[in-house]
Amino acid sequence: EVDRMASLVNNLLQFSRRSHRQVSTVDPREEITNSVEFVHYHLRTHKIEVVREFVDSLPTIQADRQQLRQLFLNLLTNASDAMPQGGKLTVRAAADRLGETPAVALEFADTGEGITAGNLEKIWGPFFTTKPEGRGTGLGMGICRRIVEEHAGTISIQSEGTGRGTTVRIVLPATDDGAARGVSI
């Protein structure tokens, strides 16, 4: 219980405080790959197959690496929690637009339990969770939204309801069009 309380307090502090960001040019595919590798053992032991669908020529973004990792790790663990019997998590990265601005679209699509229509809007509120007691604080998606908005992006969740999986889509402004690099991960 002490560990759980420490985790809750830490999440509350992260939710409320605005720390000094260290923004740099980032390849989002690299950060997603690093995040997946970080939780690879957990995903493998929970029988979750991760499929990466990254375009070859992806623009870079201006972002704080630590905040991006926090964002991606939260989405990966949420997807894992939504698939207690295992499943497939597809991670996509492609060029997109955010209004008139070149952007990068990132999607995390799981084959898990899904989210009921009544819970789709509640998910962004602080302390809302559908996880069992002791498993979630209800701060994760609020923190995710704040991170994305601080990076001038958008985040949305689509779910067809219970048993149909969930897709989280993030769109962040790009620093370039990606054509010059053509690096593939």
* Interval 16-55: pLDDT, tens: 555 566 889 999 999 999 999 989 988 999 999 999 999 9
Place of tokens 């969930």: 166
Rounded to whole angstroms, how far apart are CA atoms 33 and 72? 10
Q: What is the value of pTM for the model shown?
A: 0.78
Residue 123 sits at the vertex; the CA angle it makes with 143 and 89, to the nearest 5 degrees, is 80
Terminal CA-CA length for the chain? 41
Q: pLDDT tens digit string along 120-142?
A: 676 766 655 665 555 555 457 87
Exposed/middle/buried for residue 134 (C-beta within 10 Å: 0-12, 13-18, 19+): exposed
